[in-house]
Structure 1
Amino acid sequence: MLDRRTILAAMLGGTASLIHAEQPNPDGINERIETLVREAIAKGDLPGAVVCCAGTEQVYYQATFGNRWLTPTKVPMSAETIFDLASITKSVATATSVALLYQDKKIDPNAPVCQYMPEFNGNGKQKITIQQCLLHTSGLTPDNALADYLEGPDIAWQKICNLGLRSKPGEKFAYSDVGFIVLGQLIKRVSGVEVDRFAAKAIFEPLSMQDTMFNPPEALRSRIAPTENEGDEWICARVHDPRSFKMGGVAGHAGLFSSAGDLVKFGRDMLAASKGQSKIFDQATFDWMITPHPVPEQLPRGTRAMGWDHQSPYSRNRGESFSKRAFGHGGFTGTVLWIDPVKELVFVFLSSRLYPDGKGSVNTLAGQIATELGNEFGEVR
């Protein structure tokens, strides 16, 4: 293992490259963002990053910083790098899939989950609705024991069905991976296919998101950023989240991989949806998905949308210059996506903050960059 001093020296030897920008460098924004990222790299908060800010047709800013790999040899970060998105899976894959099932009238979001999965009905869970799972107000625990997943996805599901509640459904907010595992199972039960196949067919293929998938093939390994050390190996090209990994890499809460370019494609379709021009959404469905809802008790001033963050204590990576209608999500591995339909901006920040020593932190950095870019390019249209 490399010691931290050696790691930092390797990080600082990385590159900062402005890949593509269709606008000039107004007021030195390139230099300001580069300074922010290089300072964070110097502190060991991340080895490198891909940053992109795009509008409906233009890429306003896109740059890469630092390295994807540090050992055994340094590999500079590239715009084509594929990242483990972690909890952005909840929004881009799972919540979007649930919204499409709602659009097709296959589900009623106000109905109890057990209406579609009768086994999910013990210990008070019979009152949990689909919408409550999307808003993290289901009363389910954030995470049940990892031991519950060691025998595979079928046994894991049985154990989730046997769980009790932490609070009454609808009474409190508690960010819950379990709630989104339930939604992944719902997608499978209603559509007949796992969330990876449903999302690929209904979302990723129509939007030409060729880098976006669960369980990426070995052929893509050379483009994928490692996440963390595991024994003598680096976790790379397989999901970092331990529960998703034990479920075969396909789950409603984590497991999706993607690139900056693909997330821009997704974000642009969301911008189009706000005008009734989406390839996948009716405008009414889109509006339902992103409408903010106050979340009770633990976040008295917080609001969340259906599977998306809006304005809450989880929004440090949001920045301060987006409109009140912006929605987004972050991922544990160091990934951020925000979409602002008022300013017509898509903001993507992708890093692998846990590589190489598991100690990185990027939410404040991403929020600072988002603020800079939102101020510079986000004129209300």
Structure 2
Amino acid sequence: MGGARGSRPGGAEPVCLPVRPAETEVRRHRGRPRPRDGPDAKEPHGPARHRPAPRRSAPPRPARHRPARPHPAHRPRSGSPRGLRRSRRPPRRRARHGRSRAAQGAPREAGRRLRPRLAARRTPPPPLEPARLLEDARGRRARRRRPGRRRARPAARHPPRRPRQRPAPLLRRHAPDRLAARHRLRARRRVRARWQDASTESPEAERIPARTDTIYDLASISKIFTATAVMRDVEAGLLALEDRVADHLPRFAENGKGEVTVQHLLTHVGGLPAFINLYSAFPDIPSRIDAVLTVAPSTPPGTKYVYSDLGLITLGLIVEKLSGQSLDAYVREHITGPLGMDETMYNPPAELKARIAATEYVEHYGRLVHGHVHDENAYSLGGVAGHAGVFSTARDLAVFAQMFLHGGIYGGARILQPDTVESMFTDRIAEITGVGGARRGLGPELEAWFYHAGLTSPYSGVHTGFTGTSLVIDPLTETVVVSLTNSVHPTREWSTTSVTRREVSTCVAHALGIVPESVRSGWRAGDRDAATATLEISADLPGREPVLEVELFAHLETAYDLLVLEVSADGGESWKPLPGRLTARHQEPVEIPDGTITGWGRRVAWTGTFPLVDASGPLSGEVQVRLALTTDGSTRGLGAWVGRPRVLDRRQVLVDTDRPGDRDAVVADGWSLPG
């Protein structure tokens, strides 16, 4: 599903944190990947450089200095301090930063990795600071060791197992180097076949339960497989993004579509309508394909974003023509086969029906769809189309996502080059959709607040499926979220997974510790839809150089959820916006000219400085400062946290909410403190 958003309504545009990156740059690590099937797998315990350094024995002391060893029966018991048995091993030599020499000699995680470069800045920000306390998906908290205090492991008596391959991030520069929690969450229904038709439930004994290996109809996630196939043709030189579609499919030039390019179709700005009825309006597959190619455009190419199935159907036809294979055969030979995705396919065979989640009762068929593609147009095209038709499991889909995180490679199989992956995950339509609008790469859907939710950033992807599926990649935390449901069972009106998708992504974001620890003890708001929350502070200003200082974390849906700082000098009768500036370590300052903050916030805690002045100069006397956060009716991020608001006048602290008396004087409506 597209989930497009239009441009922001009229009025002054809020400040987004940060300026959206327009392009990224590829940078690779020097190390080589360590796939399970790669050359390094020939040695049973990994290459020699991965083996621990041999233990060094200290020279023995002269015999006259060795005390007589008592018989075990006469040794003190281990319960007392004297009874603690000392190891006969000599103390290990410590290297710098608290790591053993063996640990220092271990290579960094290998793999060719992509690093983003914000085009709007000349100096990209360094890696994010990871949270010290992380919560796992069950809500438990685990304290991480400081890297400098990590103990060196003793030398193993037996050769160690080969180290697990750590997923290389798609965008390495912003990824926390020491982030410990990585979660892959599968959200699934407990029953994959419950209904006989649109209104009749199956008997309890006949219901088919869902399992971890249940096969789901991915619906529009199939578009990412088609986009991957297209980009492979681009790498091979068979196709170019600037190629006109009509040069490969001449029939497409009908009705003035001669200037539509391959990139237009990948980014859904080709001017094609969103949908046409193929399954009942045309008698056979050739006539349906011709209807797709000759459809009249709704807008000129490159002028408007319209999520369209027809563009991906057309791209699938190009792949078939260039390769001489059907789309399903191409995907199997060049994508799913090399990746070992043996349970990903079009048109699953009948013997797998018992493992496939049922979808919708369709009146046109007069039966429940179970075992073949749910999308009517894809089914009418033989079950294989560029926009829908792929079936898969959670495990296989996670492998597909890891391939992107690894920069186009997984398990020794190179599917795409790192440059190509970087290009696919770079937004191409911001100038068309504007602030708060849809973001699209070459196939992936980017910065989609409506289901990325708490994991949303300018780098997050990938896609949703109408049947209730979704795939999210957050390269900043190296996290993959696979959510597979059959929410259209038994009808599409019966249920929706939109809320579930958002809550799952937000739950994972909290488990990863994205909210900085420094602000977690402060006031929080923005965790409800269609709500307004205000935080009001009063102060008596002497009128010299008054200023408001706050610690702030904001992760708000761009242009739709807004945090506004305001000041009133007339007892709250009227409020004026409070301009200011945000600063943070390793970040360029952000000016807030109208006191309005929105966007993803770079996932850092900011220090906000807002001078309490008006056109005539510094304010004096009794004033009120207010932080007002408003959310729209649907879709939200993590919200906003405000820690330790203070009002100062030069060096004099007038209000400090860390002081119990001042904190009690804060008027909070919709803002809450932890606990």
1:221-280 Cα deviation digits (max 9, x unpaired): 010000011356320110111101110000001111111000011111111117998621
Q: Which moved more, 1:354-363 or 1:225-234?
A: 225-234
Q: 2:137 aligns with which of 16, 22, 29?
A: 29
Pair 1:378–1:85, CA change in 2 (3 A): farther
Of 250, 263, 272, which aligns to 2:384?
Answer: 250
1:239-278 alignment to 2 at 5 Å? 239-273=373-407
Query: What is residue 309 of structure 1 aligned with on the other side?
Result: 445
* 1:84–1:255 contact (8 Å) kept in structure 2: yes
* Structure 1 range deviating more: 163-172 or 117-126: 117-126
Unaligned 5+ segments in structure 2 are 1-133, 141-165, 169-181, 195-201, 515-602, 604-675
* Separation in 2, partners of 1:225, 1:147: 23
- Of residues 369, 372, 375, the one that matches 1:235 is 369
Report SS of the residue matched to 1:368: helix
Q: Which residue of 2 aligns with 1:324?
A: 458
Are 1:89 and 2:222 matched, yes or no?
A: yes
Task: State whether residues 130 and 183 of structure 1, in contact with CA within 8 Å, keep that contact through their aligned partners in structure 2.
Answer: yes
Q: SS where residue 168 of structure 1 aligns? A: coil
1:215-230 alignment runs, 5 A limit: 215-230=347-362
For normalisation by structure 2, the TM-score amounts to 0.46
Partner Cα distance (2:349, 2:374) in 1:
15
Structure 1 equivalent of residue 312 of structure 2 = 180
Distance 1:62 1:254, change over 3 A: closer
Match of 1:69 among 180, 193, 211: 193
Looking at structure 1, the residues matched to 279 and 354 of structure 2 have their Cα atoms a distance apart, in angstroms, of 32
- Whether 1:283 and 2:394 are equivalent positions in the alignment is no
Q: Distance in 1 between matches of 2:218 and 2:184?
A: 23
Which sits farther off after the overlay, 326-335 or 149-158? 149-158
Q: 1:378 to 1:211 in 2, by over 3 A?
A: farther
1:156 aligns with 2:288: yes
1:293 Cα offset (Å): 1.8
- Provide the residue aligned with 2:660 in structure 1: none
Is 1:81–1:259's contact at 8 Å kept on the other side of the alignment?
yes
Structure 1 partner of 2:329: 197
Tell me the CA shift for residue 152 of structure 1.
Answer: 2.4
Q: Report the Cα offset of residue 327 of structure 1.
A: 1.1
Question: What do residues 94-125 of structure 1 show as CA deviations (whole Å, max 9, x unaligned)?
Answer: 01111111111110011100111122112111
Q: Deviations over 1:47-102 (max 9, x none)?
A: xxxxxxxx7397654565421122242322211010011100111x2011111111
Kindly state the Cα deviation for residue 147 of structure 1 after the two structures are TM-superposed. 5.5
Are 1:292 and 2:427 counterparts? yes
Checking the alignment, whether the CA contact within 8 Å between 1:135 and 1:295 is kept in structure 2 is no
Tell me the residue number matched to 2:521: none
Contact 1:274 1:283 in 2 (8 A): yes
Give the Å deviation of 1:29. Answer: 3.0
User: How large is the RMSD of aligned CA atoms in angstroms?
Assistant: 2.6
User: 1:341 Cα deviation (Å)?
Assistant: 2.2
Q: Taking structure 1 as the reference length, what is the TM-score of the superposition?
A: 0.80
- Residue matched to 1:363: 498
Moved more, 277-286 or 96-105: 277-286
Amino acid at match of 2:372: R
Counterparts of 2:457 and 2:465, CA distance in 1? 21
Greater helix proportion: 1
Shift of the 274–155 alpha-carbon distance from structure 1 to 2, 3 Å rule, reads closer
After TM superposition, the structure 1 stretch with the greater mean CA deviation from structure 2, 113-122 or 152-161, is 152-161
1:46 is aligned to: none
Which piece of structure 1 moves more, 58-67 or 361-370?
A: 58-67
Cα distance in 2 for partners of 1:162, 1:239 equals 25
Taking the aligned partners of 1:61 and 1:112, their CA distance within structure 2 comes to 40
- Matched with 1:112 is 244
C-alpha separation in 1, matches of 2:231 and 2:513:
27
Q: Looking at CA atoms only, which structure, 1 or 2, has the larger radius of gyration? A: 2
Contact 1:98 1:187 in 2 (8 A): yes
Kindly, what percent of the aligned residue pairs are identical? 30
1:80 to 197, 207, 213: 213
Deviates further, 258-267 or 269-278: 269-278
